[in-house]
Structure 1
Amino acid sequence: MSRGKRVQAPPLEINLLREGLKESTHIAEAVVCDTKGRVLSMAGDAESSAFIRSALKPFQALAVIGTGALDHYKLSDKDLAVICSSHQGTKEHARQVFRILWQADLESNVLQCPIPHGKDSALEHNCSGKHAGMLLTCKHCNWGLGSYMEKSHPVQALILDKIAELLQMPAQEFIGARDDCGVPTYLMQLSQMATLYAHLASGDRLDVERVVRAMTYHPTMVSGRGGFDTELMRLSEGEIVSKSGAEGIQCIGRVGEGLGLAIKVKDGAKRAKYAVALYLLTRLGWITPAVSDTLAEQFLSLSPYKRLDVVGELSLV
């Protein structure tokens, strides 16, 4: 992926209003790219870097597809969706992850993601689907199960190669660190995140198209009822693919158009990234006013006395 000169525009400001009076402020950066990595519009610094966190999950899922493990173990689109998920740990989600492991004759104790506080099993961790997908890949390829979270493990090397291929960069250039669940995540420029989601939404590759189909056909698996990703994909009826990440990361693709949007809220606030996403999606014309209004009721109106308001625009490059 080519890197041009550093370009910046005013960032977005997200205000929490209490009965119309400003109480708190968040700052966010956002960028729109195409599959060639070209920055089309932005707010803030397109080359600003952050860990992509759980927004990487749809690309980590490419390993289970590319190795043939998904088809060998007869996994469904619903299984693939939960592999891409940051789910809510409900019984429905935990059972779906258990099914993935069951198909490969694996016990749930092979999962090395943490057991959430107050829960009984690692199956209930929001990253358990991702871990199950990695373990399934390891089982299919006869790779060791005990060290699958290590950056040097073949499954992690394969995932990084998939990402590097999409971004047309050498894999060794990526800076990695452990995510909260223990597996590697990577430091990326916002433009690189947006380019990944442009590829995800382009329909140019069968493996990424399978991921999009799984996520958009089974959005409840991706975050859960009432979750931002789930509700956005459900209401947009397959036109948007969306995945949140921790610390203010939100990535979105316009399905069929090869355009990706990446958002980073500087202070990591979850509420602010949802507000920015709705604000920008509406102005880009990626969602209808009806969808925007429905989601605004849930994610912008925080109480009878509080709401979020976004100030600023994407600048054309």
Structure 2
Amino acid sequence: MRFIPLVEEYRGGVLENVNYGAVAVVDEKGKVLYSAGNPEHLTFLRSAAKPFQAIPAMKRRIETVYGLEGREAALFAASHRGEAFHIDALESMLRKTGISEDALHCCATYPLNEDAKALRHQAHEPKRRIFHNCSGKHTGLIALCKHMGWDERTYYDPEHPVQKEIVQTLAYFAEVPEESIPHGVDGCGLPIFALPLYKIGYSFLKLACPDLIEDEETRDAAARMAKLMNEYPDMIADTRFVCSELLKDPNLTAKGGAKGVYGIGLRKERLGISLKVSDGSELVWPCIIASILERLGYDNLETIERLYKLVPNTIVNDGGTEVGERRAVFELQA
């Protein structure tokens, strides 16, 4: 695996915890410019795949077919955390598409956002499928199947036309043979795919800079999906999560996934960034991403400051007293 220390945490001056992982930075030709650890580590994209899983629907302009608002279509690529405005938009999507909530293959659950979860518990509401963070993706895929005349009940099957098109899309973005992509099952029950880490960064660069995409239809779909993500950043996660904070920067396209994987595309710099935290921690994403941007000389200091504000490098105890610090300890090797 060749993971290296990315973040160290100190308490009382004593090293208490280390997060290992790998980082890759690629250029517009897909060449690895900088890395920390193994840039070829085979990595499941998990929810970082959502913008690419949405491309088939965007190619058919499903948002226009069903009269979806921009904030609703943005949920195709979201890992929403179940705040009230997410649920309102999802219920509107179901009404407009004529899809039953029971048709979603993702399980019934409670929101990931703790405040939103508490409100649902206080109201004695049951678990729901649209509370699941992947429900926007599922709704978009079913809407696509409905429009195309494909079987809506088995859209999660790896042999279903929509899933076959998704893996073709990912292979096209990453420029790898389709048969080389390992398949698994994601937390929401849909197929998920693994790529070398640097290929994830390359795919996100194309999402940010769609002029790198040769096929006109795919290029247009990618541009519109990325635009929606930047226009409605809070729909992609919630009001206090790293994806939404990064997407407030119009120069970036970004999406994270479970078990510590993250992808970012930088438009002006024409760079792709990908990272994997080996223990799956998401808490250290802001520290790592801010450090990468600093090492690359990124000039939007406001974005970096938002990341450090989201998860400060100062560690405090339950009473708010400073007790330690978090440090990014990796170097980007040319």
Per the normalisation by structure 1, the TM-score is 0.91
Partner in structure 2 of residue 114 of structure 1: 107
SS at match of 2:105: coil
Are 1:30 and 2:44 matched, yes or no?
Answer: no
Cα separation, partners in 2 of 1:67 and 1:301, compared to 1, 3 Å? same
Are 1:190 and 2:183 matched, yes or no?
Answer: no
Are 1:243 and 1:252, in contact at CA under 8 Å, matched by a contact in 2?
A: yes
CA offsets 1:208-233 (integer angstroms, 9 cap, x no match): 11111101111000110111111222
Q: Which AA in structure 2 matches 1:218?
A: Y
Question: In structure 1, how many angstroms separate the alpha carbons of the residues matched to 2:13 and 2:265?
Answer: 32
Question: In structure 1, how many angstroms separate the alpha carbons of the residues matched to 2:257 and 2:12?
Answer: 30
Q: Which runs of structure 2 are paired with 1:169-248 in the superposition (5 Å)?
A: 169-204=176-211, 205-234=219-248, 236=249, 238-248=250-260
Q: 1:147 aligns with which of 138, 154, 157?
A: 154
Q: 1:269 aligns with which of 271, 281, 287?
A: 281
Post-superposition offset of 1:60: 0.5
Q: Which runs of structure 2 are paired with 1:118-137 in the superposition (5 Å)?
A: 119-137=126-144
Partner in structure 1 of residue 297 of structure 2: 285
Post-superposition offset of 1:47: 0.7
Cα separation, partners in 2 of 1:122 and 1:9, compared to 1, 3 Å? closer
Q: Which AA in structure 2 matches 1:301?
A: T
Post-superposition offset of 1:69: 2.1
Are 2:8 and 2:328, in contact at CA under 8 Å, matched by a contact in 1?
A: yes
Cα separation, partners in 2 of 1:220 and 1:24, compared to 1, 3 Å? same
Question: In structure 2, how many angstroms separate the alpha carbons of the residues matched to 1:271 and 1:127?
Answer: 20
Q: Specify every segment of 5 or more residues in structure 2 that has no aligned partner in the other structure, as ranges.
A: 111-120, 212-218, 317-321
Post-superposition offset of 1:168: 2.6
Are 1:301 and 2:308 matched, yes or no?
Answer: no
Partner in structure 2 of residue 315 of structure 1: 333
Q: Specify every segment of 5 or more residues in structure 1 that has no aligned partner in the other structure, as ranges.
A: 1-7
Partner in structure 2 of residue 90 of structure 1: 83
CA offsets 1:162-184 (integer angstroms, 9 cap, x no match): 11122233322211111000001
Q: How many residues align?
A: 307
Question: In structure 2, how many angstroms separate the alpha carbons of the residues matched to 1:84 and 1:222?
Answer: 7
Post-superposition offset of 1:81: 1.5
Per the normalisation by structure 2, the TM-score is 0.87
Question: In structure 2, how many angstroms separate the alpha carbons of the residues matched to 1:240 and 1:177?
Answer: 28
Q: Which AA in structure 2 matches 1:37?
A: G
Q: Which AA in structure 1 matches 2:326?
A: L
Cα separation, partners in 2 of 1:109 and 1:302, compared to 1, 3 Å? farther
Are 2:5 and 2:330, in contact at CA under 8 Å, matched by a contact in 1?
A: yes
Post-superposition offset of 1:122: 0.4
Partner in structure 1 of residue 113 of structure 2: none
Are 1:14 and 1:272, in contact at CA under 8 Å, matched by a contact in 2?
A: yes
Are 2:42 and 2:197, in contact at CA under 8 Å, matched by a contact in 1?
A: yes
CA offsets 1:78-123 (integer angstroms, 9 cap, x no match): 1222111111112211221222222211121111101115653101
Are 1:259 and 2:271 matched, yes or no?
Answer: yes
Are 2:3 and 2:278, in contact at CA under 8 Å, matched by a contact in 1?
A: no
Post-superposition offset of 1:272: 2.4
Are 1:58 and 2:51 matched, yes or no?
Answer: yes
SS at match of 1:88: coil
Post-superposition offset of 1:309: 0.6
Post-superposition offset of 1:243: 0.7
Q: Which AA in structure 1 matches 2:139?
A: A
Question: In structure 1, how many angstroms separate the alpha carbons of the residues matched to 2:256 and 2:28?
Answer: 20
Greater Cα shift, 89-98 or 287-296: 287-296
Post-superposition offset of 1:257: 4.1
Question: In structure 2, how many angstroms separate the alpha carbons of the residues matched to 1:50 and 1:285?
Answer: 27
Percent of aligned pairs with the same residue?
A: 28
Q: Which AA in structure 2 matches 1:167?
A: A
Post-superposition offset of 1:287: 5.2
Question: In structure 2, how many angstroms separate the alpha carbons of the residues matched to 1:165 and 1:13?
Answer: 30
Are 2:145 and 2:162, in contact at CA under 8 Å, matched by a contact in 1?
A: yes
Post-superposition offset of 1:306: 3.4
SS at match of 1:270: coil
Q: Which AA in structure 2 matches 1:258?
A: R
Q: 2:64 aligns with which of 43, 59, 71?
A: 71
Are 1:159 and 2:172 matched, yes or no?
Answer: no
Instruction: Say what the alpha-carbon RMSD is for the aligned residues.
Output: 1.9
Are 2:241 and 2:310, in contact at CA under 8 Å, matched by a contact in 1?
A: no
Question: In structure 1, how many angstroms separate the alpha carbons of the residues matched to 2:309 and 2:11?
Answer: 16
